[in-house]
Amino acid sequence: MERSFMVNFIKKFLGFFFLLFSAGFVSWYPLIYLLKR
């Protein structure tokens, strides 16, 4: 029971982290592109 709860928590945490990372990448990419140009 507790093990499945931990797995579910880790899955949610990884999903949230991936969402945050992708959002950060999308917001940073144009800035880096403008700086490199």
- C-alpha 10/C-alpha 20 separation (Å) is 15
The domain limits of the chain are 1-37
**How far apart are alpha carbons 15 and 35 in whole angstroms?**
30
DSSP SS3 for 26: helix
The whole-number pLDDT of residue 17 equals 95
CA distances 19 to 9, 14, 34, Å, are 15, 8, 24
Q: How many residues does the chain have?
A: 37
Q: Give the pLDDT confidence score for residue 1 in this predicted structure.
A: 67
1-37 per-position pLDDT tens digit = 689 999 999 999 999 999 999 998 888 888 888 999 8
pLDDT of residue 10: 96
Q: Is the pTM of this model over 0.85?
A: no
